[in-house]
Structure 1
């Protein structure tokens, strides 16, 4: 789940307090931080989850090889989204769960692509563990962050991820077709939850803009 903590945009002349000096132009960390706080970035993560989910549901006859490649690419792309999203958090101590999650997604994606002819059980295990750990870390972030807007949306998305991981790990899948339907269904549900979170985040950003520009210390 791509979650940023501060809903207030930090860069641009209209957001800087009078007399403040602009930060270094082109600073990669600042660019990533601004990108990670954008609601469009969360929406992009949602689309990256929805697309493979829809694909595997529309084409349930795909082979296990194709399914493993689709899931592997999905995990790699979402890992990149998670990595950038960690820079949107002001507290460096809160970035650790996000970085761990990004690494987990990338490693899982590499495992799926490295051996796409693996068994159904192995693919289920990889995806189930990723969703379970992702949901737990997202739930921890939602509870620990003191000023997280729309906390309920984040918690709801985290719970969906946890349930998805448990279901995939607990229910045996006897065929590639059954696994395809199961993973596709959960990908669509998780993607829809992230879409709702993205638009909720956009609403928070708009309200923050109406309240007036903020300085680096959070004061108007």
Structure 2
């Protein structure tokens, strides 16, 4: 193997995408804590919907409202992160505000029918899916694949809620709980993938370089 001078070796590593010592790692498209929080609250929401002993429209609406409020708050907190670009701030901020509005509407018992509540849930999934896809196309590699896959899954779930004819309360409960568990678990897995990727690009400390 040919040995290059140190300055050529540094250029070679930079061209390959490895950050030189002392350089800050490129921030993740979405913060680890935000993705993990969204995944955990979605999983807990899915479990609560499925295992609650009795299901009424008011109860399901309250659970959906709490889920949307927490998810919207996490989106807004992520929008104000110092590593976000202006475009991502606007996108995450708009989605966060809309989720909060949907959550308040559910808690104020605006959803007086199954169709209305299903429409709110469907729109929430659609908005989340659009945000994931748009942010995903700003990323690269594995992160892009994860985000686009999650976004497409959210879009499909949202469309199912909006176009399902004659959706009953029992069917809506099953669909809501199962899809929340699946997508929430995928978000948790993606969060740890983000953390693993961030650790891989973290520059070595002077002690580690010796």
Q: TM-score, normalised by structure 2?
A: 0.77
In the alignment, is residue 161 of structure 1 matched against residue 158 of structure 2? no
The unaligned stretches of length 5 or more in structure 2 are 1-21, 206-210
2:184 pairs with one of 172, 179, 191: 191
Q: Secondary structure at the match of 2:116?
A: helix
1:97 pairs with one of 81, 88, 91: 91
Range with greater deviation from structure 2 (86-95 or 155-164): 86-95
In the alignment, is residue 69 of structure 1 matched against residue 62 of structure 2? yes
Alpha carbons 1:120, 1:176 under 8 Å: kept: yes
C-alpha displacement of 1:200? 0.7
Distance 1:168 1:37 in 2: 27
Q: After TM superposition, which residue ranges in structure 1, 4 or more long, deviate above 4 angstroms?
A: 146-149
C-alpha displacement of 1:57? 1.3
2:19 is matched with none
Distance 1:108 1:49 in 2: 15
Alignment of 1:141-160 (within 5 A): 141-143=135-137, 145-146=138-139, 150-160=143-153
Q: Secondary structure at the match of 2:112?
A: coil
Alpha carbons 2:36, 2:187 under 8 Å: kept: yes
C-alpha displacement of 1:176? 1.5
1:139 is matched with 133
2:164 pairs with one of 162, 171, 180: 171
Alignment of 1:1-220 (within 5 A): 38-59=31-52, 61-88=54-81, 89-115=83-109, 118-143=112-137, 145-146=138-139, 150-209=143-202, 211-212=203-204
Q: Secondary structure at the match of 2:75?
A: helix
Range with greater deviation from structure 2 (54-63 or 159-168): 54-63
Alpha carbons 1:149, 1:201 under 8 Å: kept: no
Q: TM-score, normalised by structure 1?
A: 0.74
C-alpha displacement of 1:118? 0.9
Range with greater deviation from structure 2 (169-178 or 94-103): 169-178
Alpha carbons 1:72, 1:110 under 8 Å: kept: yes
Higher-Rg member (1/2): 2
C-alpha displacement of 1:41? 3.4
C-alpha displacement of 1:100? 0.6
The unaligned stretches of length 5 or more in structure 1 are 1-14, 18-33, 214-220
Q: CA RMSD in A?
A: 2.4
